[in-house]
Amino acid sequence: MRIMVLNQTQGRTGTEYHERVEPILRSYASPGTVVDLCYPDEPAIRSQGGGSAHLGYYLSNPGLVQKTEQVAAMRPVIFERAAEAMHSMVKDGGAECIVPLGGAIIPYIVDPNDLTPEAGAPVLNPKAIGIHFAEMCVHVGLSQSPLTYPLARLSAEGAALAARR
């Protein structure tokens, strides 16, 4: 089986980021599954329309932390802050499990297995979960493809109505 993990940034194959992250993603796969880290050909358009901002795209871009030395130097601080926040969620909020979202920090910089003892509750690895979920979908025959779910044919009037909603 082959799984493509599509990153949101444009054309980063062969960079330090790619060389560091792709092996991490591959380590989550079952034997016989190949995971490829891929990138879109064009920049993502995250929002459209008047007054929309692309701040979310730039803030979520993993390229914000570009130098390995900076990441290595920041790891203890990132770990401490994440552990404190997660421990607070467990202690004060009653969380029984932590699901960190975003993916630029956990699991690439801080391992969720290292955070679990500090948090006092399981800290899940969303990248590993995504890869195993994709494998499970293939194994049980689940799919959502253009062949199974063809695009609806909308008239111009119907498309305009849908865009106003």
Say whether both 70 and 118 belong to one domain.
yes
Torsion, CA 51, CA 52, CA 56, CA 59, rounded to 10: -40
Mean residue pLDDT across the chain: 80
**Tell me, what's the pLDDT at 10?**
66
**Tell me, what's the pLDDT at 123?**
96
Say whether both 99 and 70 belong to one domain.
yes
- Quote the pTM value: 0.66
Q: Are 131 and 35 in contact (CB under 8 A)?
A: yes
For residue 27, what pLDDT band results from cuts at 50, 70 and 90?
very high
Return the closest-CA partner of residue 69 out of 131, 16, 147.
16
Q: How do residues 35-59 score in pLDDT, each as one tens digit?
A: 999 887 655 454 444 444 444 444 4
pLDDT of 85 higher than 80: yes
Say whether both 94 and 115 belong to one domain.
yes
Say whether both 94 and 109 belong to one domain.
yes
Calculate mean pLDDT across residues 67-83. 80
Q: Are 4 and 38 in contact (CB under 8 A)?
A: yes
> Is residue 47 situated within a structural domain?
no
| Domains contained in the chain, number | 2
**Tell me, what's the pLDDT at 81?**
92
For residue 22, what pLDDT band results from cuts at 50, 70 and 90?
very high
Q: What is the DSSP string of 100-149?
A: --SSSSTTTTS-HHHHHHHHTS-B--HHHHHHHHHHHHHHTT----TTTS
Q: Quick one: tokens of 79?
A: 């770990």
> Is residue 57 situated within a structural domain?
no
Say whether both 106 and 84 belong to one domain.
yes
**% of residues, the chain, pLDDT over 90:** 42
Say whether both 95 and 117 belong to one domain.
yes
CB atoms within 10 A of CB 90: 17
pLDDT higher for 65 or 8?
8
Looking only at the bridges linking them, the beta strands covering 2-6 and 34-38 are: parallel
Rounded (5°) CA angle 7-8-13: 50
CA distances from 81 to 8, 23, 73, 76, 117 (A): 26, 26, 14, 9, 14
> Is residue 48 situated within a structural domain?
no
For residue 124, what pLDDT band results from cuts at 50, 70 and 90?
very high
Say whether both 113 and 82 belong to one domain.
yes
Calculate mean pLDDT across residues 110-129. 95
> Is residue 136 situated within a structural domain?
yes
Range of the structural domain that residue 104 is part of: 65-124
> Is residue 60 situated within a structural domain?
no
